[in-house]
Amino acid sequence: MNGVLVVDDDADIRETLSVVLERQGFRVVTAVDGADALQYLQGGELPSLILLDLMMPRMTGEEFRVAQIANNQLKAIPVVALSGASRLDETAVRLGVEVLPKPIELSQLLKTVSRFCQKES
Amino acid sequence: VIAEDQRPPEPLTPVGARTATPLPRRPRTSIRGKLVALTLAVILIPVFSVAAIVAVREIRDIRTQIVEANALMGEMVAEFGAAALAFQDRTAAEQTLRALGNHDEFVDAALYDSEGKLVASFARPGHSDAPPSPSLDPGARPRAQVEGDRITAVRPVEYRGVRYGTLVLHTSTAPLTSRVRAYLWGLLLLTIGVVAASLMLAWALERMVSKRLLRLAEVARHIAQKEDYTVRADAQGGDEIGLLGQAFNRMLAEIGRRQQQAQQAVRTRDEFLSVASHELKTPLTSLKLQVQGLLATPPAVVDKNEARRLASSMALTERQIRRLERLINNLLDVSRIAVGRFTMEVEDVDLSALVRDVASQFTAELERVGCRLTLDLPDDVMGRWDALRLEQVVVNLISNAIKYGDGKPIDLSLAVDDGHALIRVRDHGIGIAPDDQKRIFGRFERAVSVNYGGLGLGLYITRQIVMAHGGTIRVESTLGEGSTFVVEVPRRGPPWQKGGGS
């Protein structure tokens, strides 16, 4: 798939991101935490972009990113972190990923996603 | 973007900066020095006074004694000598004089007859320095006077009113001088003794007091320098200094405990901030994206009035979401400032474009309150600033001007002088009383009643941002006529930001 993998423990965020991105023609799959995301990646097609929440139970965004980089097949997938820290998120800087500050601006979200993914329709 | 985690110096660093001068290692005047001086003064002054008084009296007494003995002897010799002189009996005269030999203090004596010729003389061997003169003025007046180390007495030798000759008697003052010398030696020894005793006393006191106090001061100095509250002072000895040490240690324990509490509180607050920002922003994210999504692709509503009402509701909802977002961000900013975690990202910014952009975001709001915003912006005001933070400043100033502007026109102008950019926002609203003008830049402060809404954080954050840029903010205002806020920021970026230009 060429879509977006949304990894967030908040169901409403997952649904919202799915709705707004799908409305723009992107394919979206979701995972509830890092472990869930890894499981999905090991089984299915690889997405063009992962939108990753950093604060999640079970497996945090940071742990997921570490596991992802350690995996040769997965490490090339670009990751954009969704961060509650309004500016520089220390974790995101450490992980070397781009940041979309929460609350996310729709225009910014679409601009970012468009850089990595192609619309299906 | 150059991401630099800068902590602007003055306002954002935690208070408690060490401005006090360091404690000196050694006292300027030591207790020992003072003690020695005091002991010497206390002992030596009375001792010297008493010794002086006693010595003066003693010397006077001895002198009187010698003079009296001299006179008595003279009288006796004159008595016995009168007969010898009367009969020209030289042997008797010499016998009379020799009787003086029994008395140590007499040095020599000479008897002269009525014509002034020497009749007989006596000299103590080894004492008399000159032989008696062979003749003497026969009418020599009686006298007794001290000459160097001897007393010379001259007296007539008479019997029943007839003068038969003259007696010259020399008495040694050696007992007097030896007594004086003994006094001086005594005083010298006493002085040496007192000085030695006071030095020993001072040494003992230093061991007991000064050294321990200095150690205590050393501990205090160490703590002030290293901020290490785990060290303890020597609290041995049940005396006052031991007690001081105990009190000192108890204070240290208390300070250490409070410091730990404070650190714990800061940690708790940091964690809370992180969690709170996440928790507050998560629901806001869904809300904002949903509303923006609906605004971007509105649902098809056939009825035109319905459609307009829906659009208006959606716009209002989005506005309120932004407001909520601003409030949350303000709270988080304030907390970050409080813990010194206010980050700055300095880059090349066109302030003119930035101000124009911010002003355009207010178009709808200005229309709604019926207020006109006039911009006076020169082209290209380039500088090294944190764009998002300066945006916050301009947003805050315009929001305030609208909020307190009473719907009257607002002027926003941008000017450049060498090295600085000046943002000037002027409203014609309610104004700020002189007393309040100082207050409004503080945390949770505002000039007006709470009825105006807001947390009272805007100008506080604004000022912190301006100061973090190395700039200044001031207000000129007349109550009832409006306010002018002037922000001045250096174009080369914060002076403490290393590197700079690109």
Instruction: Specify whether the CB–CB gap between B401 and B475 falls below 8 A.
Output: no
Dihedrals φ, ψ of B413, to 5°?
-130, 155
Instruction: Specify whether the CB–CB gap between B273 and B333 falls below 8 A.
Output: no
DSSP string, B74-93: HHHHHHHHHHHHHTT-HHHH
The tokens 């001299």 sit on which residue? B70
Residues of A with a Cβ under 8 Å from any B Cβ are: 10, 12-13, 15-17, 19-20, 23, 55, 82, 84-88, 93, 102-107, 109
**Cα–Cα distance for residue pair B124/B109, rounded to 1 Å:** 9
**Out of A12, A85, A106, closest to residue B296 by CB:** A106
Nearest-Cα residue of chain B relative to residue A56: B278
Q: What percentage of chain A carries pLDDT values higher than 90? A: 50
pLDDT at residue B93, rounded to an integer: 83
Q: Report the residue of B286, B294, B326, B336 to disrupt the A interface, i.e. the one with the largest count of A CBs within 10 Å.
A: B286
**Cα–Cα distance for residue pair B421/B490, rounded to 1 Å:** 6
Instruction: State which amino acid sits at residue B2.
Output: I
**Cα–Cα distance for residue pair A42/A73, rounded to 1 Å:** 9
- As given in the structure block, the two tokens for residue B443 are 């945390």
Instruction: Specify whether the CB–CB gap between B144 and B51 falls below 8 A.
Output: no
Q: What is the pLDDT of residues B240-292, one digit of tens each?
A: 888 888 888 899 899 989 989 988 987 887 778 767 777 888 899 999 999 99
Taking CB atoms and an 8 Å limit, are B281 and A10 in contact across chains? no
- The DSSP call for residue B101 is G
pLDDT-derived band of residue B390, with 50, 70 and 90 as boundaries?
very high
Taking CB atoms and an 8 Å limit, are B285 and A103 in contact across chains? yes
Residues of B with a Cβ under 8 Å from any A Cβ are: 3, 5, 274, 277-278, 280-290, 292-293, 296-297, 321, 325, 329, 332-333, 343, 345, 388
**Cα–Cα distance for residue pair B462/B351, rounded to 1 Å:** 16
Whether the complex's predicted ipTM is more than 0.90 is answered with: no
Taking CB atoms and an 8 Å limit, are A103 and B3 in contact across chains? no
**Cα–Cα distance for residue pair B221/B227, rounded to 1 Å:** 10
**Out of A10, A87, A106, closest to residue B292 by CB:** A106
Dihedrals φ, ψ of B76, to 5°?
-65, -50
- As given in the structure block, the two tokens for residue B428 are 């014609």
The burial class, CB within 10 Å (0-12 / 13-18 / 19+), for B426 is buried
Give the CA radius of gyration of chain A: 13
CB burial readout B7-32, b (16+ within 10 A) else e: ebeeebeeeeeeeeeeeeeeeeeebb
Determine the straight-line distance between the first and last CA of chain A, rounded to whole angstroms. Answer: 14
- As given in the structure block, the two tokens for residue B418 are 């060498």
- As given in the structure block, the two tokens for residue B480 are 């009832």
**Cα–Cα distance for residue pair A46/A77, rounded to 1 Å:** 8
Instruction: Specify whether the CB–CB gap between A56 and A45 falls below 8 A.
Output: no
**Out of A10, A23, A102, closest to residue B293 by CB:** A23
The burial class, CB within 10 Å (0-12 / 13-18 / 19+), for B138 is middle
Q: Report the residue of A12, A13, A87 to disrupt the B interface, i.e. the one with the largest count of B CBs within 10 Å.
A: A87
Calculate how close chain B gets to A103, using CA atoms only, in Å: 4
Q: Report the interhelical angle of B304-338 vs B458-468 (nearest 10°).
A: 60
pLDDT at residue B173, rounded to an integer: 78
The burial class, CB within 10 Å (0-12 / 13-18 / 19+), for B140 is middle
Calculate how close chain B gets to A10, using CA atoms only, in Å: 8
Q: Is the pTM of this model over 0.80?
A: no
Calculate how close chain A gets to B227, using CA atoms only, in Å: 29
Q: Within 13 Å and on the Cβ side, how many CA atoms surround B266? A: 12
pLDDT at residue B397, rounded to an integer: 94
Q: What is the pLDDT of residues B284-293, one digit of tens each?
A: 999 999 999 8
pLDDT-derived band of residue B48, with 50, 70 and 90 as boundaries?
confident
- Contact residues, chain A, for B4 at CB < 8 Å: none
